[in-house]
Every structure is written in structure tokens, then in C-alpha cells.
Amino acid sequence: MAVTAGKKLDARALRADFPIFAQEINGKPLAYLDSANTSQKPRQVLDGMTTFYETSYANVHRAVHTLAERATSGLEGAREKVRAFLNAPDVREVIFVRNATEALNLVAYAWGGNNLGHGDAVVVTELEHHSNFVPWQYVAQRQGAEFLMLEIDENGDPNLSQLDEIARDHTVKVVATNLVSNSLGTIHDLTPLVTWAHEQGAIFVCDAAQAAPHMKLDVQALGADFVAISGHKMCGPSGIGVLWGRGDLLQAMEPFLLGGHMINSVRVDKTTWGELPHKFEAGTSPIAEAFGLGVAIDYLEDIGLDAIEAHEHELAAYALGLLADVPGIKLYGPGAERRAGVVSFNLDGIHPHDVAQILDLSGVAIRAGHHCCQPLMQKLGVAATNRASFYLYTIPEEIDQLVDGLYAVRKVFA
């Protein structure tokens, strides 16, 4: 661990924690600028999970032997770490799922299935990742409810001037939006939307998949009713995500997945559900993955979320400054002060996939595509963009490598 809480982070020192950076890609130092897609894993998480498997692995909540008790306390210890990380009031409100997508589907199906019907409306924004768009669209249609989308304004923010008209003409039951856009990197002030949602008597569902890795989250201060996050984007393993939900809402909901582990009693005429959180955790849990997420949270908190956020702002400002000079570049999204470490761009006349492929030859990993945001791409008038994204281990030299690579791409297509 290279820094202590409250200090500016030292990305160069932190990189030593990440074995992936020990290699070269195509004979060049690896510039991993795809962290919004998924983050790399520090040795602390990798070693923690290996030790867990080697010393403490068994199934959880089902047996009384020593290993089962160790595994159960590993999983439940991680749940408490997540609770504290999110400042959730009660550990039973922390539901382990596979990823943010599953968390959002859980709410759409289990809450929407019982609470949405004809005459109701679900509101999302044009900036949503498909994971916070498609489940709502699908469940709304299945339930006979309306599915509405807030368009973005010229600044790329949800256009709140549409809210009055929506409130006048619709019974809004759900407002679902992200806190940080995976495509533009914008950090949103959700307060007006949360307030408006609650004035309508709607629930507010926050997709915090991109926010949780980068900034301090406080579900109580946010005022959301449900919050979804993914472990793999915040230095944890893949296969683990979290749904936090307000206890009274979770209590009132039907389960999403059914089977072992989530029941109280099973009889041929009737099955009753277990207590929270187990009601929503059918089947064998992602045990080591949850443990690994707990280690990742320790890792992030030792560095300090404030330090991570500040580091990303610096990198975003640095990148935006250099990229602006690349001939024929179009940059998307707000100024550095309002964004996490995400920069989307296109090079005039060059397909993003060609850009990404040529960059890979010089060791630079970026994402090219629609970023699971097709409605936003339509608004921007493009099929795809390039996206470079940064994290706590990103150093300015990697951004230099990106920019040099883009000049090389320009030469190839000159």
C-alpha cells in the first residue's frame, strides 16, 4: 500500500500492487485506459482470494463445521464492509448479486412486477447504460406501463425542463438514472431528480456502477431507494455486485430468483421466504467473490475515495488538454471538473474500431463501441466512440502514449 488516507495518491507507487502492469503488450509498456469497462486487480485482492480459497472455503450458512463458519464469516464480513462503504443503515439491506445489471434487473422485476401497471410510468434518461434502460423498458411494457426517456440538453445533462410536463400527464412510479455516465464521464447532481421522483411518489433507482469506484457514496445522503454497483469496476473480482435497497421496500417485495437458500419453509402447498438479505440470494452465493470485494473496499478506503476522485479529475484535465490539439478530434462530455476519469472522442473519418486496433499495436488499451449506450449514440449522431478511462493506477505517461498513438493513427489514414 503506497499511500495513507487523506493524502494525494501516488499512482506510480500504487501500480506496483497490480501484477498486470509487469508485462508489455506488443512490445510496448501497457497503457491500460479501459478501467470504466473493468478495473485491474491489486495483489491484495488476488492474494486475499487465494488465501481464502486455500484456508477458509466451504459453502455458507449451511453447515456447522469450522470451514463453513470461516467461509460464512468471510462472506458476512464483506457484507458489513459494503454496508459501511455505502453508509447503508442496515447490513440486511445489502444484497449480493453477480453485477450491477443483475441488481437493476432484480429491482425491475421484483419491484416493478408488483408495483407497475396500466397508467403508470417509468422514467429513465438518454444517458443510461443499457443495464438501466432495457430492464425498465421490458418490465414497463410487460406490465402495461409507459416507458419515458428524459432527453439530454446541449450540456449533455438530463433535460429537467421536461419534468413538469411529465408530472402533469403521467403517474410516475420509477425514476432510474446513473450517478456517473459511463460514456461521457459526467458526474450528475441527482438531488433535483431524487426530489422530483419522491414528490411524484416514485422510487428513485440509482445506477452507481461508475460512481462507486471513483467517489465516496452515501446512499442515505443520496436519498435513493435502490443503488446498484459492480465489484469488478472497483478493483474487486468479476461475478460480484451489490444491490442496496431501502429495508421497507425490500421487505415488501417478492423474490426475484427462487430455489435453495432463499426460503424459510417449503411444503407442497406453500413456500415461505427467508429473511433479508437471503430472500434475494437464491443458490450458492459468490462466496470468494464477495470476500474479494471486501478486500477491494479495504484497498480503496486505505487510499481514500477523495484522493481517487481528485486523481481522476487531474488525469481528465490533462487528457482533455492534450487531446484537444489532435487534428480532427471531437471530444464528448463536460469539462474536467464535472467528470470522472472518462474521455470519449472520435477522430474525423476514422472508425473507432480502427483507432482502437491501431492503438493496441502500441500497447494502448481503450474501448471502442457504443458503450452499451445506443440511445445516447443516436443523440450524438454516431454509431460508436472511442473511450479512454482512467483509475487510481493511471499515470500521465499512459495518456501521453494514447496521444502519441492517435497522431500515429492520423498518419496511417493521412
Ligand X SMILES: Cc1ncc(COP(=O)(O)O)c(C=O)c1O
| Residues forming the active site | 372
The single residue among 14, 82, 86, 100 that binds ligand X, judged by CB under 6 A, is 100
**CB of 408: closest distance to ligand X in angstroms?**
28
125 in contact with ligand X (CB under 6 A): no
Instruction: Identify which range of 72-80, 125-133, 274-282, 298-306 contacts ligand X by CB under 6 A.
Output: 125-133
Residue (71 or 215) nearer to ligand X, CB:
215
Nearest residue to 178 via CA among 137, 226, 142, 145: 226
Residue (36 or 406) nearer to ligand X, CB:
36
The single residue among 81, 129, 188, 246 that binds ligand X, judged by CB under 6 A, is 129
**CB of 25: closest distance to ligand X in angstroms?**
22
- Window 224-263: contact mask with ligand X (x via CB under 6 A): ------x---------------------------------
What single string gives the DSSP state of each residue in 307-349? HHHHHHHHHHHHHHHHHTTSTTEEEES--GGGB-SEEEEEETT
> Is 334 buried (19+), middle (13-18) or exposed (0-12) by CB count in 10 A?
middle
344 in contact with ligand X (CB under 6 A): no
Q: Which residues make Cβ contacts (< 8 Å) with residue 339, sequence separation at least 6?
A: 184, 185, 186, 187, 313, 316, 333
Restricting to residues 262-321, which ones interact with ligand X according to CB under 6 A?
Answer: none
Give the Cα-Cα-Cα angle 9, 14, 17 (nearest 5 degrees).
155
Residue (236 or 405) nearer to ligand X, CB:
236
On the question of a cis peptide bond just before residue 277, with omega within 30 degrees of 0, the verdict is: yes
- Window 164-183: contact mask with ligand X (x via CB under 6 A): --------------x---x-
131 in contact with ligand X (CB under 6 A): yes
Please check whether residue 94 is in contact with residue 86, taking contact to mean a CB–CB distance below 8 angstroms.
Answer: yes
Instruction: Identify which range of 5-13, 126-134, 252-260, 297-305 contacts ligand X by CB under 6 A.
Output: 126-134
**CB of 178: closest distance to ligand X in angstroms?**
5
Residue (40 or 99) nearer to ligand X, CB:
99
Q: In angstroms, rounded to a whole number, what is the distance separating the alpha carbons of residues 135 and 73?
A: 33
Report residue 243 as a C-alpha cell: 444491490
User: What is the H or E stretch that residue 29 is in?
Assistant: strand 28-29
Mapping DSSP to helix (H, G, I), strand (E, B) and coil, where does residue 41 land? coil
Q: In angstroms, rounded to a whole number, what is the distance separating the alpha carbons of residues 288 and 302?
A: 21
Residue (120 or 207) nearer to ligand X, CB:
207
Please check whether residue 149 is in contact with residue 379, taking contact to mean a CB–CB distance below 8 angstroms.
Answer: no
210 in contact with ligand X (CB under 6 A): yes
The residues binding ligand X (CB under 6 A) are 99-101, 129, 131-132, 178, 182, 207, 209-210, 230
